[in-house]
Structure 1
Amino acid sequence: MTRSHPKRPRTEHSQSSRPVVRAMLPAVFLLGLAAPAGAQTLQEALAQTYVNNPTLATARAQLRVVDENVPQALAGWRPTVTLSGSAGYAEGTIRSRSQTTSGQRIGVTTDQDRTIGTVAATVTQPLYRGGRTTASTRRAENQVLAQRARLLATEQQVLQDTVSAYVNVIRFQEEVRLNLNNAQVLQRQLDATNERFRVGEITRTDVAQAESRLAGARASRADSEGQLQNARATFQRVIGIAPARLTAPQPLQPAARNGQDAAQVAALNNPAVVAALFDEAASRDFIDVQLSALLPQASLQAQAFRNDNQQLIGQRSIGESVTATVTVPLYQGGAEYSAVRQARQDATRLRQVVDDQRRVASAQAIQAWETLVSARATVDSVRAQIRAAEIALDGVQREAVVGSRTTLDVLNAEQELLNARVSLVRALANVVTASHSLAQAVGRLTARDLALPVALYDQEAYYRAVRDRWAGLGDYSVPQPVRD
C-alpha cells in the first residue's frame, strides 16, 4: 500500500469542528506508514502458518499415505516366503496277515500311537501377472504426483487464508480507530452545540441532530469492535498465535500482464489442474490393472519340507521341489469384463474433469485480475473523494460559523468524509488480498514463490525413503534436507 498525503486547505475552523481532520487523518493512512520496531510482518505470519498450521500438516500426512501406494505396487515383483508347520497326535490300528512256519495264515492287529509333525518352507516368485505390477506401479506414481499437486493447492489456500486474516485485523483496527475518533469528535461537537443552544444561537432541532449522529457513531464503533474481535479469532485459528503489532503489507507484484495471460498460466499451472491431469493418467493405468485379470499368470515356487510319522511310527520324509505354474483364465463369471468397462468409463469421466478444472482455473484467474484492477481503481477514486470531501467539509464549517449552513450540513459533510476514509481502508485491504488471490489462481502463492524464511517441506523425502524398502515398520517421516 502506498503513502498518500492529501493537501489540506489552510483555513480557520470553528473550535467545535477543528479536531475532525486532525484526529482522523493518522488513522486512515496508517496502512501506508513504515513498520514500527518489533512489529509482526505478513511474511512472518505466513512463515508461522507454513510451519504450524494443522490443515497443512494434515495434507502433508495424506501425501505420505499416498506415497505408500508405490512400494505396495512394487511388491508384485518380489517373492513371498512362508514357513508353515503342524504338530499333532494320532492313534490307530493296523490289521495285517502273516504266515506261520507251518504255513498257516493268521491275522495280526497292531495298535499305533504316534506323534505327527510337518514343516515346510515355500518361496513363490511371480513371473508374469498379466501386466498388473507394471500398471499398478505407474498408477501409484501418478497418484503420488496428483497428491503433491493437492498439497500445493492446500498450501496456497492456507496461505491465502493467512493473508485474509492478517489484512482483516489491520482493516478492522483502522475502522475501530476511525469510528472511535469520529465518536470523540461528535461528542465535542454535541457539547459545543449544547452551548450554542443555551445562548440561543441554534434550536433544539440542531441539538437532536447532533445527538442522533453521536448515537449512530457509537453504534458503528461497537459494530467495528465486534468485527475486530472476530478477525482476531480467525487470525489465531489460522496462524496459531494472537495478533500483536501488525505491519501493513504491500500488495504482490502481479503474476500476469493481463487477464488473458493470467488465464493461460492458470490453465497450465494451477494445482487443481495439475492434480486432475495426474488423476486422469492414473485412471488410464487402472484400465490395464483390470485387464490383467483376463491375462495368463505365471509363477515359480520352490519348497523344502519334512514330514514325520505321517503313516507309521518312525517314518520320515524329507525333500525339495520346484514347480512352475501357469494359469490361463477362460471365463470367471464376467465380473472382470465389467471391471474393465467401469475403469474405461471412469477414465472418460476424469478427462472431462481436466477440462472442467482448466475452465475453473482460467475463470478464477480472470476474476482475480479484474478484482485487482478494480480495487486499484477504487483506491485512486476514493483518495480523490477524500481530498474533495476535506475541502467540502472545510467550506461547510466556515459557512456554518457565519450562519449560512446548519448543524446538519456540517454533520453530513463529516459523515461523508468518514465514509470515504473507511472506504479507502477497505479498498487498500482489497488490493493486498486481490494481489495474493491472483498469485493463488496462477499457482504462485507458495512458500517457495513467496521466499518465506522457512525450511521448505520436501515432498519427495518420504517417497524416497519408502519406495524401494522391502521391510520395516518404522516412521520414516523424519524431516530431511530440502532438495533444491
Structure 2
Amino acid sequence: MATALLGPAVLFLGTPQAAAQTLSEAMAQAYASNPALLGARANLRAVDENVPQALAGWRPSVSVSASGGPLDSRVRTLAQGFDPETGGTFAYGRTTRIERQLLTTQLTVTQPIFRGGRTVASTRRAENQVLGQRARLLQQEQQVMSDTVNAFVNVILYQEIVRLRVNNEQVLTEQLRATNERFRVGEITRTDVAQAESRLANARSLRSQAEGQLQIARATYLRVVGTQPARLVAPQPLRPPVANAQEAGLAAATNNPTVVAALFDEAAARDAIDVQMSQLLPQVSVQGQAFRSDNSTANHTRITGAQVLGQLTVPLYQGGAEYSQVRQARQQAQQARQTVDDQRRAVTQSATQAWEQLQSSKAQVEAQRAAIRASEIALDGVQREAIVGSRTTLEVLNQEQELLGNRTDLVQALATVVAQSYSLAGAIGRLTAQDLGLDVDPYDMRAYYNAVRNRWVGLGDYSNVAEKR
C-alpha cells in the first residue's frame, strides 16, 4: 500500500533523471562524512578507554627513584687530650669536616593483590559504559539518517512548491492579460481587472517565499549531507516494520537505542556502588624493592640490597566521606532505574505517535487526490460559465486558488508520508545503516575496543582500526 501512495499521477514524483542522487546515496554519504556522527564515534572510542583504565588495577606499578649530590658536613666530638705539664688528661671539642658525593637509587615494584573488589567492579562498570555508549552511537546514527531524510524530502518538497508557484504565476499573468482584453471591449468592469492584478501580486509574493524556503532547505541539506543537492530522485516511503500502533510501542520499548543505553547506564550505576564500597574493605599488595646507596655512611662505601614486603591496609575510619559516597551511589542507581522507565514510556509514546501520524498522512494523501479531481472538474465548469457571463472573474480566481491549494497540500502530505515512515522506523530502532541496507563500509564498534582493551603501553592513535577511509 505504501508504494501505491506515490503513483505517477502525483506531482511530487517527477521522472527520475540519469545520474540523479537517491535518498539511499545521500544517507550513505552522510553516514561516511557527517561531523556529528564522526564525533559520536570518537566519543565511543574515548569511552572504550575506560576498560583498560579499570583493568590497570590488576597490573603492577613500577617506579625508579634516584637522588644524589655533594655532602659537606661537620661533626663535633668530645676528645681526650694529654697535658704534659701536669701529666693528666683533659677533654676538648674536636670538629671533623666530612665531604663526599652521595648517590642513592631505588627500583620499586608494587603488585596489587586485593583492592576490596574495586578492580572487578570498575571493570564491570567500564564495560557497561562502553555498551551504553554504543547504543548512543546508534541513536546518533539514527538521528543523522532522520535528518538526512528530512533534508532530502524538504528539498524535493520546496522544489515542487516553487514549480507550482511559478506555474500559478504564469497562469495568473496570462489571465490578467485576457482580463485586460475583455475590459477593453467592455465585457467586464475595472473591478475584475483589479481582482486579477491582486491575485497576481499575491502569487509573486508566494513564489518568492517558496524560493526562499527552497534555499533554506538546500542549506540544511548541505549541513547534513555535506554536498549541495543536485537532481534528487523522489523517494518511496518505507514499508512499516510493524503492523499496528501497539506493536510499534512494544518494539520501541525494547529496541530503541535510548532505552538500551539507559539499561546499561543503570547497570553501570549499580557497579558504582561496589566501586565505592571497596573503600571500606581491606587492601592487600606486595611490594618489591632493589636499592643501591653510595657514600651514605663514609667515602668509598656502597650499600646494596633488595626486599619483598607484603602490605595489608584495613581502613577503620576515614572521616565518613566514604560512607556518604556509598549512599550517594545507591541513590544514583535508583535515579538510573527510573530513567529506564521514563525512556521506555517516552519511546513508546513516540512510536505510537509516529504510527498514527503516518496513517493520518496516508489518509490525507487520498483525500487530497479526491479534492484535486473535484477541483479540476469545478474549475473547468467555472471557466466555461465565465465565458458566457454566468460566473465572475473572482469566482474563477477563487477556484484556481482552491485547486492550487489542493495540489500544494497533496505535495506536503506526500512529503509527510515519506518522512513519517522513516520516523516510525527510527522510533522502534530500525533506522540504522544496516537496517536500511546502505552501501557503506560499516563502522566497527568493537575494533578499537579490542585493540586497546589489554594494551599495557602505547601512545598511538588506534582509531584507524575502526574508521575505514
Give the Cα–Cα distance (whole angstroms) in 1 for the partners of residues 242 and 273 of structure 2. Answer: 39
Give the Cα–Cα distance (whole angstroms) in 2 for the partners of residues 180 and 379 of structure 1. Answer: 23
Of the candidates 430, 433, 440, which is equivalent to residue 454 of structure 1? 440
Paired residues of 2:11 and 2:411 also in contact (CA < 8 A) = no
Number of residue pairs matched? 459
Paired residues of 1:3 and 1:33 also in contact (CA < 8 A) = no
Give the Cα–Cα distance (whole angstroms) in 1 for the partners of residues 408 and 147 of structure 2. Answer: 23
* Corresponding position of 1:38: 19
Give the AA of the match of 2:416: N
Paired residues of 1:308 and 1:317 also in contact (CA < 8 A) = yes
1:106, distance to aligned residue in structure 2 (A)? 7.1
**SS of 2:401 mapped into structure 1:** helix
1:33, distance to aligned residue in structure 2 (A)? 3.9
**SS of 2:385 mapped into structure 1:** helix
Superposed counterparts of 1:285-324, under 5 Å: 285-324=271-310
Residues 114-159 of structure 1: per-residue CA shift (max 9 Å, x gap): 1111001010000000000000000000000011111111110111
* Corresponding position of 1:122: 108
Of the candidates 57, 60, 73, which is equivalent to residue 79 of structure 1? 60
Residues 321-358 of structure 1: per-residue CA shift (max 9 Å, x gap): 00000000001110000000000000001100000000
1:61 has 2:42 as partner? yes
Give the AA of the match of 1:80: S
Of the candidates 128, 132, 157, which is equivalent to residue 171 of structure 1? 157
Give the Cα–Cα distance (whole angstroms) in 2 for the partners of residues 46 and 117 of structure 1. Answer: 67
* Corresponding position of 1:246: 232
1:358 has 2:344 as partner? yes
Paired residues of 1:263 and 1:361 also in contact (CA < 8 A) = yes
* Corresponding position of 1:25: none
Give the Cα–Cα distance (whole angstroms) in 2 for the partners of residues 118 and 150 of structure 1. Answer: 53
The gaps in structure 1 that reach 5 residues or longer are: 7-28
* Corresponding position of 1:113: 99
Give the AA of the match of 1:165: A
1:418, distance to aligned residue in structure 2 (A)? 0.5
* Corresponding position of 1:335: 321
* Corresponding position of 2:74: 93
Please report the TM-score for the alignment, with normalisation by the length of structure 2. 0.95
Give the Cα–Cα distance (whole angstroms) in 1 for the partners of residues 165 and 14 of structure 2. Answer: 20
* Corresponding position of 2:170: 184
Superposed counterparts of 1:104-253, under 5 Å: 109-253=95-239
Give the Cα–Cα distance (whole angstroms) in 1 for the partners of residues 280 and 130 of structure 2. Answer: 27
Please report the TM-score for the alignment, with normalisation by the length of structure 1. 0.92
Give the Cα–Cα distance (whole angstroms) in 1 for the partners of residues 39 and 208 of structure 2. Answer: 38
> What root-mean-square deviation, in Å, do the aligned CA atoms of Structure 1 and Structure 2 show?
1.7
* Corresponding position of 1:11: none
Give the Cα–Cα distance (whole angstroms) in 1 for the partners of residues 219 and 156 of structure 2. Answer: 13
Q: Structure 1 pair 276/103, CA: closer, same or farther in 2 (3 Å)? A: farther
1:112, distance to aligned residue in structure 2 (A)? 1.2
Paired residues of 2:283 and 2:313 also in contact (CA < 8 A) = yes
1:79, distance to aligned residue in structure 2 (A)? 0.2
Residues 224-257 of structure 1: per-residue CA shift (max 9 Å, x gap): 0110111111110111100110110010010211
Paired residues of 2:172 and 2:200 also in contact (CA < 8 A) = yes
**SS of 1:354 mapped into structure 2:** helix
* Corresponding position of 1:278: 264
**Higher mean Cα deviation, 289-298 or 88-97?**
88-97
1:312, distance to aligned residue in structure 2 (A)? 1.7
Give the AA of the match of 1:85: A
1:314, distance to aligned residue in structure 2 (A)? 2.1
Give the Cα–Cα distance (whole angstroms) in 1 for the partners of residues 144 and 113 of structure 2. Answer: 47
Give the Cα–Cα distance (whole angstroms) in 2 for the partners of residues 249 and 329 of structure 1. Answer: 66
**SS of 1:117 mapped into structure 2:** strand
Give the Cα–Cα distance (whole angstroms) in 2 for the partners of residues 200 and 450 of structure 1. Answer: 64
1:438 has 2:424 as partner? yes
1:34, distance to aligned residue in structure 2 (A)? 3.9
Give the Cα–Cα distance (whole angstroms) in 2 for the partners of residues 98 and 418 of structure 1. Answer: 125
Residues 274-302 of structure 1: per-residue CA shift (max 9 Å, x gap): 01000000000000000000000000000
**SS of 2:290 mapped into structure 1:** strand
1:99, distance to aligned residue in structure 2 (A)? 9.0
Paired residues of 2:44 and 2:130 also in contact (CA < 8 A) = yes
**SS of 1:478 mapped into structure 2:** helix
Superposed counterparts of 1:338-417, under 5 Å: 338-417=324-403
Give the AA of the match of 2:138: L
Q: Structure 1 pair 103/60, CA: closer, same or farther in 2 (3 Å)? A: farther
1:103, distance to aligned residue in structure 2 (A)? 10
Give the Cα–Cα distance (whole angstroms) in 1 for the partners of residues 199 and 182 of structure 2. Answer: 17
Paired residues of 1:269 and 1:442 also in contact (CA < 8 A) = yes
Paired residues of 2:6 and 2:414 also in contact (CA < 8 A) = no
Give the Cα–Cα distance (whole angstroms) in 1 for the partners of residues 220 and 429 of structure 2. Answer: 24
1:3, distance to aligned residue in structure 2 (A)? 4.8
Residues 187-244 of structure 1: per-residue CA shift (max 9 Å, x gap): 0011001001100111111111111111111111011011011111111011110011
Give the AA of the match of 2:144: V
Give the Cα–Cα distance (whole angstroms) in 2 for the partners of residues 475 and 335 of structure 1. Answer: 38
Give the Cα–Cα distance (whole angstroms) in 2 for the partners of residues 56 and 370 of structure 1. Answer: 29
**SS of 2:445 mapped into structure 1:** coil
Give the Cα–Cα distance (whole angstroms) in 2 for the partners of residues 38 and 359 of structure 1. Answer: 44
1:409, distance to aligned residue in structure 2 (A)? 1.1
The gaps in structure 2 that reach 5 residues or longer are: none
Q: Structure 1 pair 285/4, CA: closer, same or farther in 2 (3 Å)? A: closer
1:467 has 2:453 as partner? yes
Give the Cα–Cα distance (whole angstroms) in 1 for the partners of residues 103 and 462 of structure 2. Answer: 41
Give the Cα–Cα distance (whole angstroms) in 2 for the partners of residues 455 and 105 of structure 1. Answer: 97
Give the AA of the match of 1:67: D
